[in-house]
Structures are given as C-alpha cells and as structure tokens.
Amino acid sequence: MARLRFLVHAAGVVTVTAALLTAVFTSPASACSCVPSTEGERYQRAAHVFSGVVISEAVEAGDPASPHDDKYRYAVAVHTEYKGDVPRWVNVITSTSGGLCGIRLYPGTEYVVFAHGDSADRRVESHLCSGTRPAASGPPVTTVPTTTTTPPTTPCATAAP
C-alpha cells in the first residue's frame, strides 16, 4: 500500500513539474486580430489603394535575435491607382509571420492593394487587416455604408378643450 501511495505522489510531482516547465519555457503566442470592417472602411483608412501584378518576392532578414521581424518584399507593377499617389512600380512590405498579420502574395497574380506609408521611397506596407485581396473580385469598394437611425417617435400631446 505504501508503494502505491509513493507511485501516486511521484506521478503527481512529475505532472506538476512538467506543467510548470512548460509554462516557464514557452514564449507567449502572438496572433493576428483584426477589427471587423467593410472594404469601404478599409479604403478610407488606407493611404494608398491600387491594383497591380506581383513581379517578384524577396525576404528581408531582420535582427537574428528576433525571430519575428523578417519581412516579405513584393515588387508590384502598378496598373490602376484608386487612392494616393504611387509610382508605376512599388515594393509592398509585410511581415513573414501570419501571427503578426503578414500576408502572402504570389508572383504573377494581380491584387488590389490597400497600403499605408510614404510611397516616395517606392515602399508601402500592407497587412492582413489592411484589406489587400486578389483583383479578380473587381475594383475596391470606396464608400462606407451609412446607417440611418430614426429617433423614436412619441404621439403628439394635444390639449384638452
């Protein structure tokens, strides 16, 4: 009986120790989370909206001590400007990490890009929450839907004669 009690206690100690070591030695998870919005709202927030074909993809390595700061650099040949002023070709920069809202674009594919940043250096940034999408769905929606609320009505009070 004493031996069984010892084994149960040993199993409990091993379980608690494993849980504590897991909690100490794992880094916190990061996840991309976007506020729900319409394409018109994303259009309003973007500094640049344009369509273009991705010509090439490259990885810009960040600090080796930080595993999540590498960036994709997509060279894009701009076809149509919808908002902002971008050169005829521009680099679209995004994180390589999906957990940091990075997006993956594919060479040879046309996209509608929603971006921010100063395009004077031929670099703009986009991420999952920006709204960049394949151009096959058509031009961007540029208007924000308006919601009209009617104030509650109350019956007119009439004076009694």
Task: Give the CA distances from residue 146 to residues 17, 38, 40, 127, 152, in Å, rounded to whole numbers and listed in that order.
Answer: 56, 11, 11, 26, 19
The string of pLDDT tens digits covering residues 146-158 is 766 666 655 555 5
Residue 157: per-residue pLDDT: 55
Name which residue leads in pLDDT, 10 or 82: 82
Full set of structural domains in the chain with CATH: 39-137 (2.40.50.120)
* CA separation for the pair 58, 68 (Å, rounded): 16
| Chain mean pLDDT for the chain | 82
Q: What percent of the chain has pLDDT over 70?
A: 71
* pTM of model > 0.85: no
Where does the pLDDT of residue 65 fall: very low under 50, low under 70, confident under 90, or very high at 90 and above? confident
Residue 26: per-residue pLDDT: 38
